[in-house]
Structure 1
Amino acid sequence: MNKARIWTLLIALGIAACGAAQAQTIGYNIRTGDVWVDTRLGEINDYGRRYREPFFDEMSGYYGAPRPLLVELIDQRHWAPADVYYACAMARALNLPCAEVVREYDRHPGQGWGAVAKRYGIKPGSPAFHAFKRGAATTYGHWGYPVVVDRPVRVDWSQHGPGKGKGPSHASQAKGSSPSRSHSPSGKDHGGNGKGHGGDKGDKGGHGKGNNGKGNGKGH
Protein backbone atom coordinates (compact mmCIF):
# COMPACT_ATOMS: atom_id res chain seq x y z
CA MET A 1 0.00 0.00 0.00
CA ASN A 2 1.52 3.34 -1.05
CA LYS A 3 1.92 6.31 1.27
CA ALA A 4 -0.93 8.27 -0.30
CA ARG A 5 -3.40 5.47 0.38
CA ILE A 6 -2.09 5.03 3.92
CA TRP A 7 -2.59 8.73 4.70
CA THR A 8 -6.07 8.64 3.17
CA LEU A 9 -6.95 5.66 5.38
CA LEU A 10 -5.55 7.32 8.51
CA ILE A 11 -7.51 10.52 7.85
CA ALA A 12 -10.69 8.53 7.28
CA LEU A 13 -10.17 6.66 10.55
CA GLY A 14 -9.52 9.93 12.36
CA ILE A 15 -12.76 11.44 11.07
CA ALA A 16 -14.67 8.33 12.08
CA ALA A 17 -13.15 8.44 15.56
CA CYS A 18 -14.13 12.09 15.97
CA GLY A 19 -17.64 11.31 14.85
CA ALA A 20 -17.88 8.48 17.36
CA ALA A 21 -16.62 10.73 20.15
CA GLN A 22 -19.20 13.37 19.28
CA ALA A 23 -21.95 10.78 19.16
CA GLN A 24 -21.09 9.70 22.69
CA THR A 25 -21.61 13.20 24.05
CA ILE A 26 -24.99 13.77 22.42
CA GLY A 27 -27.95 13.07 24.62
CA TYR A 28 -27.81 12.10 28.25
CA ASN A 29 -27.03 8.64 29.55
CA ILE A 30 -28.48 8.10 33.00
CA ARG A 31 -28.18 4.95 35.07
CA THR A 32 -29.54 5.42 38.57
CA GLY A 33 -31.13 1.97 38.74
CA ASP A 34 -34.64 3.47 38.55
CA VAL A 35 -36.20 3.68 35.09
CA TRP A 36 -38.66 6.45 36.01
CA VAL A 37 -35.88 8.63 37.45
CA ASP A 38 -33.58 7.96 34.50
CA THR A 39 -36.31 9.04 32.09
CA ARG A 40 -37.06 12.23 34.02
CA LEU A 41 -33.39 13.23 34.15
CA GLY A 42 -32.98 12.77 30.41
CA GLU A 43 -36.06 14.89 29.78
CA ILE A 44 -34.95 17.54 32.27
CA ASN A 45 -31.63 17.74 30.46
CA ASP A 46 -33.48 18.33 27.19
CA TYR A 47 -35.74 20.92 28.80
CA GLY A 48 -32.81 22.84 30.27
CA ARG A 49 -31.06 23.00 26.91
CA ARG A 50 -34.18 24.13 25.07
CA TYR A 51 -35.60 26.55 27.64
CA ARG A 52 -32.78 28.08 29.62
CA GLU A 53 -34.68 30.81 31.46
CA PRO A 54 -37.62 28.67 32.64
CA PHE A 55 -35.07 26.07 33.76
CA PHE A 56 -33.11 28.68 35.71
CA ASP A 57 -36.33 30.02 37.22
CA GLU A 58 -37.24 26.56 38.49
CA MET A 59 -33.80 25.80 39.87
CA SER A 60 -33.64 29.17 41.62
CA GLY A 61 -37.26 29.51 42.73
CA TYR A 62 -38.13 25.95 43.76
CA TYR A 63 -34.73 24.42 44.54
CA GLY A 64 -33.14 27.55 46.00
CA ALA A 65 -30.06 27.54 43.78
CA PRO A 66 -28.43 30.98 43.51
CA ARG A 67 -28.62 32.22 39.94
CA PRO A 68 -24.88 33.11 39.79
CA LEU A 69 -24.11 29.49 40.67
CA LEU A 70 -26.37 28.25 37.87
CA VAL A 71 -24.66 30.55 35.37
CA GLU A 72 -21.24 29.38 36.55
CA LEU A 73 -22.11 25.71 36.24
CA ILE A 74 -23.86 25.92 32.87
CA ASP A 75 -21.85 28.61 31.09
CA GLN A 76 -18.38 28.42 32.62
CA ARG A 77 -18.06 24.83 33.75
CA HIS A 78 -20.27 23.42 31.00
CA TRP A 79 -22.36 21.19 33.21
CA ALA A 80 -25.29 19.45 31.61
CA PRO A 81 -28.66 20.81 32.84
CA ALA A 82 -29.51 17.42 34.30
CA ASP A 83 -26.31 17.50 36.37
CA VAL A 84 -27.30 20.89 37.74
CA TYR A 85 -30.78 19.58 38.50
CA TYR A 86 -29.42 16.43 40.08
CA ALA A 87 -27.10 18.29 42.44
CA CYS A 88 -29.68 20.84 43.53
CA ALA A 89 -32.48 18.30 43.87
CA MET A 90 -30.21 16.08 45.95
CA ALA A 91 -29.33 19.07 48.12
CA ARG A 92 -32.98 19.88 48.64
CA ALA A 93 -33.73 16.34 49.72
CA LEU A 94 -30.92 16.56 52.25
CA ASN A 95 -31.80 20.09 53.36
CA LEU A 96 -28.38 21.34 52.23
CA PRO A 97 -27.26 24.23 50.04
CA CYS A 98 -26.78 23.13 46.45
CA ALA A 99 -23.27 24.57 46.52
CA GLU A 100 -22.33 22.08 49.22
CA VAL A 101 -23.30 19.13 47.04
CA VAL A 102 -21.33 20.68 44.19
CA ARG A 103 -18.27 20.93 46.43
CA GLU A 104 -18.68 17.30 47.49
CA TYR A 105 -18.72 16.29 43.85
CA ASP A 106 -15.60 18.34 43.17
CA ARG A 107 -13.71 16.73 46.08
CA HIS A 108 -13.66 13.41 44.23
CA PRO A 109 -13.37 14.19 40.51
CA GLY A 110 -14.12 11.34 38.17
CA GLN A 111 -16.09 9.23 40.65
CA GLY A 112 -19.48 10.29 39.33
CA TRP A 113 -22.82 10.97 40.94
CA GLY A 114 -23.34 7.42 42.16
CA ALA A 115 -20.40 7.79 44.53
CA VAL A 116 -21.66 11.17 45.75
CA ALA A 117 -25.12 9.77 46.43
CA LYS A 118 -23.63 6.82 48.29
CA ARG A 119 -21.61 9.10 50.57
CA TYR A 120 -24.79 10.96 51.41
CA GLY A 121 -26.66 7.73 52.06
CA ILE A 122 -29.02 8.22 49.12
CA LYS A 123 -30.12 5.19 47.16
CA PRO A 124 -33.26 4.02 45.37
CA GLY A 125 -35.90 3.29 47.97
CA SER A 126 -34.50 5.72 50.53
CA PRO A 127 -36.60 8.66 51.83
CA ALA A 128 -34.38 11.13 49.97
CA PHE A 129 -34.79 9.23 46.73
CA HIS A 130 -38.57 9.26 47.12
CA ALA A 131 -38.33 12.97 47.88
CA PHE A 132 -36.48 13.43 44.59
CA LYS A 133 -39.28 11.69 42.73
CA ARG A 134 -41.95 13.85 44.29
CA GLY A 135 -39.88 16.94 43.56
CA ALA A 136 -39.49 15.94 39.91
CA ALA A 137 -43.24 15.47 39.60
CA THR A 138 -43.79 18.93 41.12
CA THR A 139 -41.30 20.47 38.70
CA TYR A 140 -43.08 18.93 35.72
CA GLY A 141 -46.28 20.47 37.02
CA HIS A 142 -44.58 23.87 37.13
CA TRP A 143 -43.53 23.33 33.51
CA GLY A 144 -47.08 22.59 32.46
CA TYR A 145 -46.96 18.82 32.14
CA PRO A 146 -47.90 17.00 35.37
CA VAL A 147 -46.57 13.47 35.72
CA VAL A 148 -47.34 10.78 38.27
CA VAL A 149 -44.49 9.18 40.21
CA ASP A 150 -43.59 5.76 38.83
CA ARG A 151 -46.14 5.93 36.02
CA PRO A 152 -44.30 5.26 32.73
CA VAL A 153 -44.45 8.29 30.45
CA ARG A 154 -42.16 10.10 28.04
CA VAL A 155 -42.50 13.83 27.46
CA ASP A 156 -41.37 15.51 24.25
CA TRP A 157 -40.52 19.09 25.24
CA SER A 158 -40.55 20.19 21.61
CA GLN A 159 -44.29 19.62 21.91
CA HIS A 160 -44.81 20.54 25.57
CA GLY A 161 -42.39 23.35 26.28
CA PRO A 162 -43.33 26.87 27.41
CA GLY A 163 -46.21 28.26 25.38
CA LYS A 164 -46.99 24.91 23.76
CA GLY A 165 -49.99 22.71 24.25
CA LYS A 166 -49.88 19.42 26.05
CA GLY A 167 -51.85 16.25 25.85
CA PRO A 168 -51.54 12.47 25.94
CA SER A 169 -51.21 12.32 22.16
CA HIS A 170 -47.69 13.77 22.44
CA ALA A 171 -46.41 11.41 25.10
CA SER A 172 -46.14 7.65 25.14
CA GLN A 173 -47.72 6.64 28.41
CA ALA A 174 -48.33 3.09 29.50
CA LYS A 175 -51.23 3.36 31.86
CA GLY A 176 -51.75 0.63 34.33
CA SER A 177 -48.15 -0.51 34.09
CA SER A 178 -46.46 -1.54 37.28
CA PRO A 179 -43.97 0.96 38.79
CA SER A 180 -40.33 0.49 37.96
CA ARG A 181 -38.22 -1.14 40.63
CA SER A 182 -35.20 0.51 42.09
CA HIS A 183 -31.78 -1.02 42.40
CA SER A 184 -28.45 0.23 43.63
CA PRO A 185 -27.50 3.64 42.20
CA SER A 186 -24.69 4.33 39.82
CA GLY A 187 -23.61 7.55 38.23
CA LYS A 188 -21.29 8.94 35.59
CA ASP A 189 -19.96 12.36 34.83
CA HIS A 190 -22.11 14.57 32.65
CA GLY A 191 -22.07 14.14 28.93
CA GLY A 192 -22.86 10.52 29.70
CA ASN A 193 -23.71 10.75 33.36
CA GLY A 194 -25.86 8.54 35.39
CA LYS A 195 -27.44 10.38 38.22
CA GLY A 196 -30.59 10.98 39.91
CA HIS A 197 -31.17 11.67 43.50
CA GLY A 198 -32.37 14.79 44.97
CA GLY A 199 -35.34 15.94 46.72
CA ASP A 200 -38.38 17.93 46.93
CA LYS A 201 -39.25 20.57 49.37
CA GLY A 202 -41.66 18.64 51.39
CA ASP A 203 -44.72 18.81 49.18
CA LYS A 204 -48.02 18.82 50.91
CA GLY A 205 -48.58 15.37 52.14
CA GLY A 206 -45.03 14.36 51.18
CA HIS A 207 -42.21 13.06 53.29
CA GLY A 208 -39.17 14.95 51.96
CA LYS A 209 -37.34 17.51 54.03
CA GLY A 210 -37.69 21.11 53.00
CA ASN A 211 -34.76 23.22 51.97
CA ASN A 212 -36.27 26.21 53.74
CA GLY A 213 -35.13 28.51 51.00
CA LYS A 214 -31.43 27.76 51.45
CA GLY A 215 -29.26 28.66 48.51
CA ASN A 216 -27.97 25.80 46.48
CA GLY A 217 -25.65 25.25 43.65
CA LYS A 218 -24.23 22.22 42.07
CA GLY A 219 -21.40 21.25 39.97
CA HIS A 220 -20.76 18.53 37.53
Structure 2
Amino acid sequence: MTGRRLLVLLMLLWPGVLLAEQTAQMSAAYQPDTGRKDIDAGLVDINYYVERHPDAFVDALHHQSGVARPQLQQWLQQPGRQAADLYLACQLAVIVEQPCQQLLQARDAAGDEGWQAALQAQQIRLDNRQWRALRQAIVRSYQVWARPLPQRLRGG
Protein backbone atom coordinates (compact mmCIF):
# COMPACT_ATOMS: atom_id res chain seq x y z
CA MET A 1 0.00 0.00 0.00
CA THR A 2 1.41 3.37 -0.96
CA GLY A 3 1.95 6.07 1.64
CA ARG A 4 -0.78 8.21 0.09
CA ARG A 5 -3.36 5.41 0.20
CA LEU A 6 -2.44 4.62 3.79
CA LEU A 7 -2.86 8.28 4.72
CA VAL A 8 -6.31 8.42 3.09
CA LEU A 9 -7.32 5.21 4.86
CA LEU A 10 -6.16 6.55 8.22
CA MET A 11 -8.03 9.81 7.66
CA LEU A 12 -11.23 7.89 6.92
CA LEU A 13 -10.86 5.67 9.97
CA TRP A 14 -9.64 8.35 12.41
CA PRO A 15 -13.06 9.78 13.49
CA GLY A 16 -14.33 6.33 14.44
CA VAL A 17 -11.19 5.64 16.43
CA LEU A 18 -11.52 8.92 18.28
CA LEU A 19 -15.10 8.21 19.27
CA ALA A 20 -14.24 4.84 20.77
CA GLU A 21 -12.71 6.39 23.88
CA GLN A 22 -15.10 4.93 26.44
CA THR A 23 -13.15 1.94 27.73
CA ALA A 24 -14.20 -1.05 29.81
CA GLN A 25 -11.84 0.13 32.55
CA MET A 26 -13.49 3.57 32.64
CA SER A 27 -16.97 2.04 32.64
CA ALA A 28 -16.13 -0.33 35.50
CA ALA A 29 -14.84 2.54 37.66
CA TYR A 30 -17.75 4.90 36.95
CA GLN A 31 -19.87 6.10 39.87
CA PRO A 32 -22.35 8.80 38.83
CA ASP A 33 -23.66 9.49 42.34
CA THR A 34 -26.87 11.25 41.35
CA GLY A 35 -28.58 10.19 44.56
CA ARG A 36 -31.01 8.05 42.55
CA LYS A 37 -30.17 4.36 42.21
CA ASP A 38 -32.39 3.92 39.14
CA ILE A 39 -30.72 6.80 37.29
CA ASP A 40 -27.26 5.66 38.40
CA ALA A 41 -27.94 2.15 37.05
CA GLY A 42 -28.95 3.57 33.68
CA LEU A 43 -25.89 5.79 33.49
CA VAL A 44 -23.48 3.00 34.38
CA ASP A 45 -25.00 0.82 31.66
CA ILE A 46 -24.89 3.65 29.11
CA ASN A 47 -21.10 3.70 29.42
CA TYR A 48 -20.96 0.00 28.55
CA TYR A 49 -23.20 0.64 25.54
CA VAL A 50 -20.98 3.47 24.29
CA GLU A 51 -17.90 1.23 24.37
CA ARG A 52 -19.37 -0.62 21.39
CA HIS A 53 -21.76 1.90 19.81
CA PRO A 54 -20.36 5.44 20.09
CA ASP A 55 -21.97 6.63 16.85
CA ALA A 56 -25.46 5.47 17.85
CA PHE A 57 -24.96 7.15 21.22
CA VAL A 58 -24.02 10.48 19.65
CA ASP A 59 -26.89 10.25 17.17
CA ALA A 60 -29.52 9.56 19.85
CA LEU A 61 -28.16 12.25 22.16
CA HIS A 62 -28.15 14.74 19.29
CA HIS A 63 -31.80 14.01 18.53
CA GLN A 64 -32.90 14.16 22.17
CA SER A 65 -30.87 17.17 23.31
CA GLY A 66 -30.46 19.23 20.17
CA VAL A 67 -26.70 19.52 20.69
CA ALA A 68 -24.81 19.32 17.40
CA ARG A 69 -23.10 16.02 16.62
CA PRO A 70 -19.64 17.57 16.15
CA GLN A 71 -19.90 19.21 19.57
CA LEU A 72 -20.97 15.94 21.20
CA GLN A 73 -18.12 14.12 19.48
CA GLN A 74 -15.63 16.74 20.65
CA TRP A 75 -16.81 16.47 24.25
CA LEU A 76 -16.79 12.67 24.09
CA GLN A 77 -13.18 12.70 22.86
CA GLN A 78 -11.88 14.63 25.87
CA PRO A 79 -9.46 12.49 27.90
CA GLY A 80 -11.16 10.80 30.83
CA ARG A 81 -14.63 11.86 29.70
CA GLN A 82 -17.31 9.42 30.78
CA ALA A 83 -19.95 9.11 28.08
CA ALA A 84 -22.68 8.86 30.72
CA ASP A 85 -21.65 12.23 32.16
CA LEU A 86 -22.02 13.78 28.72
CA TYR A 87 -25.39 12.05 28.37
CA LEU A 88 -26.66 13.26 31.73
CA ALA A 89 -25.40 16.82 31.23
CA CYS A 90 -27.18 17.15 27.90
CA GLN A 91 -30.41 15.52 29.08
CA LEU A 92 -30.47 17.66 32.23
CA ALA A 93 -29.78 20.76 30.14
CA VAL A 94 -33.09 20.23 28.36
CA ILE A 95 -34.94 19.65 31.64
CA VAL A 96 -33.50 22.57 33.63
CA GLU A 97 -33.04 24.87 30.63
CA GLN A 98 -29.33 25.46 31.09
CA PRO A 99 -26.49 24.92 28.62
CA CYS A 100 -25.17 21.38 28.40
CA GLN A 101 -21.61 22.68 28.49
CA GLN A 102 -22.25 24.47 31.78
CA LEU A 103 -23.54 21.28 33.40
CA LEU A 104 -20.69 19.24 31.94
CA GLN A 105 -18.16 21.71 33.35
CA ALA A 106 -19.86 21.55 36.75
CA ARG A 107 -19.59 17.74 36.65
CA ASP A 108 -15.93 17.95 35.70
CA ALA A 109 -15.29 20.36 38.58
CA ALA A 110 -17.04 18.04 41.06
CA GLY A 111 -14.50 15.30 40.36
CA ASP A 112 -14.98 12.22 42.54
CA GLU A 113 -17.89 13.84 44.36
CA GLY A 114 -20.22 13.04 41.46
CA TRP A 115 -23.41 14.52 40.15
CA GLN A 116 -24.96 15.43 43.49
CA ALA A 117 -22.07 17.83 44.13
CA ALA A 118 -22.19 19.15 40.56
CA LEU A 119 -25.89 19.94 40.79
CA GLN A 120 -25.50 21.49 44.22
CA ALA A 121 -22.72 23.74 42.91
CA GLN A 122 -25.10 24.90 40.17
CA GLN A 123 -27.88 25.37 42.76
CA ILE A 124 -30.04 22.83 40.96
CA ARG A 125 -32.50 20.74 42.94
CA LEU A 126 -34.50 18.41 40.76
CA ASP A 127 -38.10 17.86 41.77
CA ASN A 128 -40.00 14.60 41.21
CA ARG A 129 -41.32 15.78 37.84
CA GLN A 130 -37.79 16.52 36.63
CA TRP A 131 -36.41 13.19 37.87
CA ARG A 132 -39.30 11.48 36.05
CA ALA A 133 -38.49 13.41 32.86
CA LEU A 134 -34.85 12.33 33.12
CA ARG A 135 -35.82 8.72 33.69
CA GLN A 136 -38.16 8.86 30.67
CA ALA A 137 -35.36 10.29 28.53
CA ILE A 138 -33.13 7.37 29.52
CA VAL A 139 -35.91 4.90 28.72
CA ARG A 140 -36.42 6.54 25.30
CA SER A 141 -32.71 6.20 24.56
CA TYR A 142 -32.81 2.51 25.42
CA GLN A 143 -35.78 2.09 23.08
CA VAL A 144 -33.89 3.81 20.25
CA TRP A 145 -30.87 1.60 20.90
CA ALA A 146 -33.06 -1.53 21.16
CA ARG A 147 -31.23 -2.25 24.41
CA PRO A 148 -32.85 -3.91 27.43
CA LEU A 149 -33.31 -1.61 30.41
CA PRO A 150 -31.22 -2.24 33.51
CA GLN A 151 -33.28 -3.96 36.21
CA ARG A 152 -33.54 -0.82 38.37
CA LEU A 153 -35.11 1.14 35.49
CA ARG A 154 -37.85 -1.40 34.78
CA GLY A 155 -41.35 -0.67 35.94
CA GLY A 156 -42.70 2.30 37.95
TM-score (norm 1): 0.50
Q: Retained in 2: the 8 A contact 1:122–1:128?
A: no
> Whole-Å Cα distance in 2 between the matches of residues 109 and 33 of structure 1?
14
Q: How does 1:17-96 map to 2 (within 5 A)?
A: 25=26, 27=28, 28-96=30-98
Deviation string for 1:110-152 (max 9, x for gaps)?
35422221234234x53322211111111111112465xxxx7
Unaligned runs of 5+ in 1: 1-22, 156-172, 180-220
Q: 1:35 to 1:98 in 2, by over 3 A?
A: same
User: How far does residue 154 in structure 1 lie from its aligned partner after superposition?
Assistant: 6.7
Residues 147-177 of structure 1, C-alpha deviations (whole Å, 9 max, x = no match): 5xxxx7279xxxxxxxxxxxxxxxxx7x7xx
Q: State the match for 1:122 in structure 2.
A: 125
Equivalent residue letter for 1:64:
G
Structure 1 residues 42 and 109: CA distance shift in structure 2, 3 A? closer
TM-score if structure 2 supplies the norm length? 0.68
Paired residue secondary structure (1:62)? helix
- Report the CA distance between 1:32 and its aligned residue: 2.3
8 Å contact kept, 2:50–2:83 = yes
Q: 1:120 to 1:137 in 2, by over 3 A?
A: farther
Q: Which runs of 4+ in 1 moved over 3 A?
A: 23-26, 103-106, 108-112
Q: How many residues align?
A: 130
For the 8 Å contact 2:89–2:100, the answer to whether it is kept is: yes
